[in-house]
Every structure is written in C-alpha cells, then in structure tokens.
Amino acid sequence: MQILALGALTVVSCLSILGVEAGRLLNYPPHVRTKRGAYIVEFESHVPSDHVSKFHAMPDIFVNHHYTKAFNGISVSTRSLDPIHLANVDGVKRVWPVRYYRPASFPPGASNSTDMYLHHVTGVEKALTELGLNGKGIKIGIIDTGVDYNHPELGACWKTEGCLWQYGQDFIGDKYTGANPVIDPNPTPMDCDGHGTHVAGILAGQGPEVHGVAPGATYGMYRVFSCPDGENTETADDIILRGLEAAHKDDHDIISMSLGSSGWPEEPLGVASAKLVEDGVVVVAAAGNDGFGGLQTTSAPAVAHGIISVGSVDNWNITAKQGIITSDQGSKSIMVSTPGNANYTFDFDSDVPLAFPDSNGANFNGCSKFSDDLVGKIAFVKRGDCSFNEKLTNAYEAGANGVLCYNNEPGLLGPSITVPVPIPFVLIGEKDGAYIADRLAAGSVSIKSPKGQYEIFSAETGGQMSSFSSYGPSAELNMYPLISAPGGNIWSTYLLKDGGYASLSGTSMATPYISGTVALIKQARPELSVEDITRLLVSTGKPITDPSTNLKFSPFRSGGGLVSVYDAIQSRVRFDPPVLSINDSKVGPINGDSKLTSLGTVRWAARTITICNHDSKKNMKISLDNMAGNSMSTFLANGSFTYTPRIWPSDATGNVPEDTVPQIYSFNGQKIIKPGQSTSVTVFIVAPKGLKDTENWYYGGFIDFTVQWQGEKTESKYNIPYGGYNGDYSAQKVLSPVSDGLPSILDDSTGNPIQDLSTLVIKENVTASLLYGLSMPSRLVEVKMVNSDTGESVGYLYNGYLEYVPKTCPQCAVPFVTTTIWSYASTDKEGKDTVEVPAGKYHALLRALLPRGDINNDNDYQVWKSGDFTVA
Ligand SMILES: *[C@@H]1O[C@H](CO)[C@@H](O)[C@H](O)[C@H]1NC(C)=O
Ligand SMILES: *[C@@H]1O[C@H](CO)[C@@H](O)[C@H](O)[C@H]1NC(C)=O
Ligand SMILES: *[C@@H]1O[C@H](CO)[C@@H](O)[C@H](O)[C@H]1NC(C)=O
Ligand SMILES: *[C@@H]1O[C@H](CO)[C@@H](O)[C@H](O)[C@H]1NC(C)=O
Ligand SMILES: *[C@@H]1O[C@H](CO)[C@@H](O)[C@H](O)[C@H]1NC(C)=O
Ligand SMILES: *[C@@H]1O[C@H](CO)[C@@H](O)[C@H](O)[C@H]1NC(C)=O
C-alpha cells in the first residue's frame, strides 16, 4: 500500500494554529482524487462577485476561473498556500479541493436494442405522434464528453443555420491525460469518448436507427471530459462548473448531466445546480450506478436540492449476438454478452462442444484447476466465487478455446477481463445457463455463434429497476431518485469511427430520457415552473412491480416509478407536495375515527395534501388507495448486515399479513373538486407493524389516486410516493459492520491486517493504515491519535478529519476509507500543521457523526477505539 509522500509534509511547531470552523474548509476522503493545490472557493450568496479582487491581491494565489452565473465563487490554484487562508477570507462560505469526476455509465457492449418498444411503453411515441410534440423551441444544454456532431443521425452539422447544435464549447481538449493533465480546448466539443454522443442520440436522434425523445429541440454541448485514457475518461469539478456556467449563460431551459460521484449536496456542483434551479432552469442528473451498495448510494450532484434525479429501468428488448445451442432437445437461440476482451470475440461459425470443468460435476464455477482436458471445447462455468479472470485462466490452462459463463442472477453484463489470455470469454443469462447445465448433465451440448449474427431478444429484466441503479434516500432521508427512465441496454448513436452505434447501460442513459421528456412538457406547457414540471413527472410516473414480491419497488429506489411522458404532458391535477418524505415518525395511538384508534399503538405520521383540479370546465372526482411498496432493511433475518437490502415481504407466495406493509388512511369514497379549485386532504401513513425497530427498515409506497372528470369515460391514475424510516433514524450506526472486517489496521509493509496491535511499533518509515467504512453517509468523521496513559489526544491521524463523507461499500466504487498511522499527528483539521508524536503507548480513536447529529455534541458520535500500539 502506497500512501505517504513524507517529504511533502512540513513538520512545524504548533505555536500559532490557524483555526477554521467546521463546514468551511472541507477535505475529501483520500479515495476521492483531488487536484493538488486546486480549490473551489464558494462565496456567501450576499457577497458581490467583485469580491474576487481580494483573491487577486493574495500572494501565491492564481484565480483560474471566476464563476458568476451558476455559482458565486472562484476556482484557484496555489503552489504552497495553506487553503485555510482562503477559508478565513471574509464572505467565504466554503472551500473545497477540486475533485475529479467520471461519467455515469458502463462500457459499451456489442449488443444493441431498438428504441421503438420503449418509446411505446413510456408514452414518448404518443406524445410525438398524437400531440405532435418534438421539443421545438426548447433549449437543452448537455454537460458531457462532447458530441460527434458529424453523425448523420445527429444532424451532421455544427452551429450552422438550422442545425441541432447551436450552442456549446470545449472546456478541456485532448491533452488532459496522465500525470500532468493540460487543459487545451479544441474549437468545438468533438467527442473522443462516445458517452456524450450516446447521450445526445437519446435526446436528439433523428432516425432512422435512433429516435430521440426531443428531436426538434435546440441543443448545446459543453464538453468537460477528457479523451479516454484506457477505459476511463475524466474531469474535475472546476471544469464541470465552467460548463454549467457557460450553459447557464446560453440560457438553456434544461441542463442534462449524466455524471456524478458519491457525495453530498453541499459540494460545489450541488450548490451550482441548486442555483440554476432557483433561476428557473430544469436540471436533470443521474442518480448513479452504485445500486450494488444498496440504500443511500445516490450520487452528487443528483442529491442537490431541486434537481430531478433519475434512476434506471432495464430495456425490454435487446439486440444482441446470437448463440445457437444444440442438444438432444434440438436447437435453441440464446443471447450472448459483449466479449470480456474485445480482441477475442466469441465467433464460432460451426458447432463446438461445451464442457464442464470437471466431468464429475464438481467445480461448476471453474474457480479451481480443471480436472478435465478441454482441448477443442468451450468451458461452461457459472459466475461467482472467483473473478472472471481466474475462470478464464483456468479454462485456458485446461486447453479450452473459449469460455461461456452463465450469470448467477437475472440480467446480463459485459464481463471485464484484464488478463492477456488469448481465448474469448462471454456471459449468458441465468435461465439459459440453467438450461444448458441441465442438457449437459444429460448428454452432449454444442454452441455456435457466427460472426455478425444478431437477434432481438426480450430482456428477462425488462421494465424492472436496473440492478446498478443507485438507491436513495439522502443522508437527510429525502426521497431520491425522483423518477426512473429506461437506462439498461440502450441503443443509441456512438462515435462514427467506432461504428456509429452502441448499446450502453447506466443512469447516464436514463437522464437524457427525462431531459427530453421535460422538453416535450415545456413545449406543450411553457408556463410551468421547474417545481410544477417535477410534480407532473412524479405524480404521473408508473410505480413498478417487483415480480419477487408483487408489491411495488420502493420509491427510495424508483422515485415516482417509470416516467409516463404522455400522461405528464396531459396532466390536469396538481399535487402538493409531490412526494411525502415521512422521516421517522411518532409512536402511539392515533386520535381520530374509530378505525384509526382501533389500530392501537403504531408508528405513524399525518400529512396534508393539496389537490388542485386544473381543468377549467369540468368537475373532477377523486378517490385514493394505498399501493404498498417493498420495505427494505440493512439486516438479514439472522442479524447480519447486508448491502443488497433485505426485502419484506421476501416471498410473495406466502400469506403476507396486511399490517406488515405500510397502510394509508384518509377520506373514504370520493371527493368532487370543482374546475380550477383545490381541496386539502389529510392522510395518515402507518408504518408496517411487525417489522423490528432494530433492523433498520425503510418502508414506502404510493398513494394511488383515481381521477375522473365529469362527462369523460376514462379514469386517470396519479400517485404520490411516500417513504419513511421505521425507527429512530438518528440512532442508526454509521460505521461499517464488524462483518466487513472493519475497522482494521494493516501493516503498510505487507498490506496484511495486524492481529495483535501490541506488536506494532510506529517509527520513522514504519507506518500502518487504519481502514474503516461507513454503512451510511456521515457529516463528520475524525480519527485521532490518543496517548493511552494520559488519555490525551496528540492530534489527528493523516487524513483523519473529513466532512460530508459518503457511504462506502465493498461492491461500490469506494469500498472503504484509509487513514495513516505514522509518527506525526496533525494539530489542525486540514492536516497542514503536524507535530512529532512523543514516544509512548497510543491508540486510534475513530468518531463518526450519527445521522442528523450535532457536531458539537459528543453523544452524537459512534466511537471506535483501537488496541494499544507503540510509537518509538
Ligand atoms: C445492431 O443491430 C443491428 C440489427 O438490428 C445489426 O445489424 C448491427 O450490426 C448491430 N450493431 C451492433 C454494434 O451490434
Ligand atoms: C420487445 O419486448 C416486448 C416485451 O417483452 C415484446 O412483447 C416484444 O415482442 C419485443 N420485441 C421484439 C422485436 O422482440
Ligand atoms: C488488443 O490488441 C491491441 C493491439 O494488439 C492491444 O494494443 C490492446 O492492448 C489489446 N487489448 C486488450 C484488452 O487486450
Ligand atoms: C426529519 O426530522 C428531523 C428532526 O426532527 C429534521 O431535522 C429533518 O429536517 C427532517 N427531514 C425531513 C426529510 O423531513
Ligand atoms: C446470515 O445469513 C447469511 C446469508 O444466508 C450468511 O451469509 C451469514 O453468514 C449469516 N450470518 C450469521 C451470523 O449466521
Ligand atoms: C526513511 O526513508 C527515506 C527515504 O526512503 C530514507 O532516506 C531514510 O534514510 C529512511 N530512514 C530510516 C530511519 O530508515
């Protein structure tokens, strides 16, 4: 483990310690890559922008950019100035290090899918054909990797008269790579990655292959990402801010951001996004692809106030490479994923026999050495227990000429192979795998998969929440995402040099779908405010059924459900508020009618909803019902912590007692609301009974309204998602569970955990790492070095003071946070002033602020103390 650059830190005495209050000068956790000596300085909102002159006058400060439109502040760089001096300037609200960003999607797959079916399901087709909408007159700014504007389906033009692309700029150029990234913008935001071109197609695709949601809108592309360096493209938030600022100056109605990283709304991009919303711009952002980490994985800036955060639903149809399986039961066509290594495609023009790693039926997953000789055969293995690389290597060593791996859960993904093994590796679906395993156990099975042979398949997971889609709620228990759209297996435009089309998956793909939807709404109803548009999207969304429970996916996963574009445009009802974030709720009897009092002691909340009939002529009849959603817990029944939430009820076939799902009580029967008038109704939301308070249950569902206008035959459906926490939210533990093996102290010379800390002697050049995780976001985490004899702290460990720390999880981009134990301690929160630790016995003291805790109250922290070690 390589952590320290000892020489880079100056050791000074602590005679004069500069102080700064919490929340002014922020450190990111060490896993967040930041630009050395670069900061974003946010001014208080009342501070005039000429405040920048103070910084121009400071020695060793270079003002890189002055933001005035999307953000009140500057980005600066400095060679050696302590950023505390920036934080201490009057009128400065916060100072953040500049952080790097990546776009939110998965690498391209060779499979592709048609957009026709999904436009049919979401109502885009009807909006375009029946209502004649196309986004005309609406301006959309896209902040992304650029666009291949030469693509014939993207207009094949740049800023010429009548061109789709009238705005945009490059803010980064092609030299932003390696150790010394250089910003050197090109004259136009030409895409060298593909991500932005794909996003652009979802919005603006002109056909015949790709049909955008808003093909008639006017577009701007603000390129803020580098060219890919290997797999990844990169940027930093000071550059994204420039893009946002320019897009705002160009006066776009909508800004679409398919990017994000785990974080908090207080970060600069969140602040800027909220400012845009305040100025009347609709800002749409990806919820993130950290769904494997479970609850509270929504990215920043999607968590910012007023932003429309978007979750992903899997596409129904996938056009993919075909594999033809032949067995004693004849032939069957199956879908084959993207090859793990693009240099070794899974092309077999004639039948090749499949074989298990071991004919005796053991080692199904191919994780140990194969006992059989597989020369001339394709290894058939199951996903799980070891990496794709290991399976591939074992198969290659057994002589196989390819690997067909079957998934151990629904869905398909592009396996990532990183070892240089010269045979192909592909993945197939769980069901197809089970079929082959069955046939292969009974006799011989072969496969062929001719080059260039594609077929449209129905996706097993079509219409369901994508497994990668990040969950809410926010650290403050607000509802995220707000709405979901198709984002899994989306076929769209791509770089012409790479074939012009590709299928990508990610909340990155769902985001432009919503941005396009907003353009159609704005075209049809230009008078609507940002809030009104958000309301329409959420209240007309279609809650999604989880086939494993027959209840709805929790609104903490799907928001209002799958976007319903036509219905949103045609909506004639306004609900206020559009979502009910219940928070934790009182426990006790409800004083009300006999039905309520008869519930006895329950956890409940009462809310008032105002419903307005927007039809100018017709009376509206309304009734409501409860549409319960899954409850989600972070604990399994046996008490183990789980990232993939445990779902209640776990088995839909069982008899689910009514009181173990949330209940809604409100008026009975129907209400009539006169044209243009509104009425208020009170709803009582009762948390599921019979779920243990100690199991961290997040419950939720939808208040399902049935609406009918006078003289009309058809009824319409609207919903208000509600969600809450079944217990005392602020009492939840924030540190990762012991089952993660954290916190843990590692020997930096070997990387191994130190079992007996009494053997650890820290001295010059001997350091150790303290690893910890957060099972939910924490506003403040600190790790101090404490003298075990006196109980006195000597200061913070290296990286030992962090604010606004996101959740970590083993399967997420960020598995844990690392701090370093060395023979110095920082006497300030920024880690600038360090003292040498006197020899003695010490321990590390880790404190993480509990949800909604008061940073000045010692009782509001979860505390962990290491064993004693020696500093020599
Ligand atoms: C996409 O699907 C079409 C068939 O609909 C096929 O001709 C084309 O090669 C596919 N493209 C890719 C990149 O897979
Ligand atoms: C696309 O998926 C839908 C829903 O599963 C299915 O009805 C339809 O036949 C599929 N289309 C094609 C071309 O396979
Ligand atoms: C594929 O082959 C090219 C050319 O030989 C090589 O540069 C590249 O690294 C290879 N890619 C992988 C993933 O092995
Ligand atoms: C939940 O309640 C707490 C304390 O009662 C409050 O500070 C917080 O803002 C509330 N959050 C929401 C989402 O209502
Ligand atoms: C609880 O169950 C899970 C999944 O079945 C298992 O992995 C875990 O080891 C169990 N934990 C305990 C403490 O039994
Ligand atoms: C510590 O490491 C540095 C750089 O490798 C070296 O110059 C120095 O002599 C080392 N000190 C000790 C006490 O080993």
Q: Looking at the DSSP assignment, which residues form a beta bridge with residue 502?
A: 492
Cα dihedral sign for 646, 650, 656, 658?
positive
Which residue's CA is minimally distant from atom 13 of ligand 5?
Answer: 640
The reply to whether 508 belongs to the active site is yes
Confidence of residue 106 (pLDDT cuts 50, 70, 90): low
Question: Using the 8-state DSSP alphabet, how is residue 459 labeled?
Answer: -
Which residue's CA is minimally distant from atom 7 of ligand 4?
Answer: 852
Which residue's CA is minimally distant from atom 7 of ligand 6?
Answer: 765
**Active-site hit among 508, 515, 554, 633:** 508
Which residue's CA is minimally distant from atom 4 of ligand 3?
Answer: 343
Residues within a 6 A CB radius of ligand 4: 476-478, 581, 583, 852
Confidence of residue 47 (pLDDT cuts 50, 70, 90): confident
Q: Which tokens sit at 65?
A: 């950019």
Task: State whether 709 and 678 are in the same domain.
Answer: yes
CATH code, domain with 70: 3.30.70.80
Q: Looking at the DSSP assignment, which residues form a beta bridge with residue 305?
A: none
Task: State whether 681 and 809 are in the same domain.
Answer: no
Task: State whether 519 and 443 are in the same domain.
Answer: no
Task: State whether 86 and 133 are in the same domain.
Answer: no
316 in contact with ligand 2, CB cutoff 6 A: yes
CATH code, domain with 227: 3.40.50.200
339 in contact with ligand 3, CB cutoff 6 A: no
Predicted pLDDT of residue 107: 47
Higher pLDDT: 682 or 32? It is 682
Gap from CA of 313 to ligand 1 centroid (Å): 22
Which residue's CA is minimally distant from atom 14 of ligand 6?
Answer: 765
Task: State whether 214 and 255 are in the same domain.
Answer: yes
147-154: average pLDDT: 97
- Pick the ligand that lies closest to the CA of residue 636: 5
* pLDDT at residue 11 is higher than 60: no
- Which residue, chain included where needed, has tokens 């404490």? 786
CATH code, domain with 632: 2.60.40.10
161-175, 386-400, 581-595, 608-622: least confident range? 581-595
The reply to whether 113 belongs to the active site is no
The CA-based diameter of the chain, rounded to the nearest angstrom, is 87
Distance CA 684, CA 661 (A): 14
* pLDDT at residue 4 is higher than 60: no
pTM for the whole thing?
A: 0.86
* pLDDT at residue 554 is higher than 70: yes
Distance CA 630, CA 549 (A): 8
Asked if 627 contacts 543 with a C-beta cutoff of 8 angstroms, the reply is yes
- The closest-lying atom of ligand 6 relative to the alpha carbon of residue 763 is 13
Number of domains in the chain: 5
Gap from CA of 646 to ligand 5 centroid (Å): 12
Q: Model confidence over 608-622: pLDDT tens digits?
A: 999 999 999 999 999
* pLDDT at residue 9 is higher than 50: no
CA 759 to chain centre: 42
* pLDDT at residue 115 is higher than 70: no
Of 439, 458, 477, which residue is a domain's last?
A: 458
Asked if 224 contacts 102 with a C-beta cutoff of 8 angstroms, the reply is no
* pLDDT at residue 19 is higher than 60: no
Task: State whether 856 and 768 are in the same domain.
Answer: yes
Task: State whether 162 and 229 are in the same domain.
Answer: yes
640 in contact with ligand 5, CB cutoff 6 A: yes
Helix (H) or strand (E) holding 186: none
Predicted pLDDT of residue 469: 94
Instruction: State which of 232, 338, 343 you would mutate to test the pocket of ligand 3, scoring each by most atoms of that ligand within 8 A of its C-beta.
Output: 343
Q: Model confidence over 211-246: pLDDT tens digits?
A: 999 999 999 999 999 998 766 788 999 999 999 999
CATH code, domain with 840: 2.70.50
Q: Model confidence over 744-796: pLDDT tens digits?
A: 999 999 999 999 999 999 998 899 999 999 999 999 999 999 999 999 999 99
Gap from CA of 737 to ligand 5 centroid (Å): 13
Task: State whether 290 and 404 are in the same domain.
Answer: no
Predicted pLDDT of residue 10: 26
Task: State whether 747 and 700 are in the same domain.
Answer: no
Confidence of residue 51 (pLDDT cuts 50, 70, 90): confident
Instruction: State which of 4, 763, 764 you would mutate to test the pocket of ligand 6, scoring each by most atoms of that ligand within 8 A of its C-beta.
Output: 764
Which residue's CA is minimally distant from atom 13 of ligand 2?
Answer: 456
Task: State whether 594 and 529 are in the same domain.
Answer: no
- Pick the ligand that lies closest to the CA of residue 109: 1
The reply to whether 51 belongs to the active site is no
Asked if 303 contacts 270 with a C-beta cutoff of 8 angstroms, the reply is yes
* pLDDT at residue 701 is higher than 90: yes
* pLDDT at residue 6 is higher than 90: no
Q: Residue 2: inside a domain, yes or no?
A: yes
Predicted pLDDT of residue 527: 96
Task: State whether 174 and 278 are in the same domain.
Answer: yes
Q: Residue 446: inside a domain, yes or no?
A: yes
764 in contact with ligand 6, CB cutoff 6 A: yes
Q: Which tokens sit at 705?
A: 């309204």
Please report how the helices 507-524 and 530-540 are oriented relative to each other, as an axis angle in degrees rounded to 10.
Answer: 110
689-704: average pLDDT: 91
Residues of the domain holding 793: 738-871
Predicted pLDDT of residue 372: 86
Distance CA 139, CA 8 (A): 48
90-116: average pLDDT: 69
- Pick the ligand that lies closest to the CA of residue 644: 5
Predicted pLDDT of residue 502: 78
**Active-site hit among 115, 144, 170, 748:** 144
Confidence of residue 153 (pLDDT cuts 50, 70, 90): very high
CB atoms within 10 A of CB 668: 10
Q: Residue 203: inside a domain, yes or no?
A: yes
Q: Nearest Cα to 462, choosing from 427, 410, 508?
A: 410
Of 66, 101, 136, which residue is a domain's last?
A: 101
Q: Looking at the DSSP assignment, which residues form a beta bridge with residue 683?
A: 607
Confidence of residue 109 (pLDDT cuts 50, 70, 90): very low
- Pick the ligand that lies closest to the CA of residue 420: 3
Q: Model confidence over 788-830: pLDDT tens digits?
A: 999 999 999 988 999 999 999 887 777 899 999 999 999 988 7
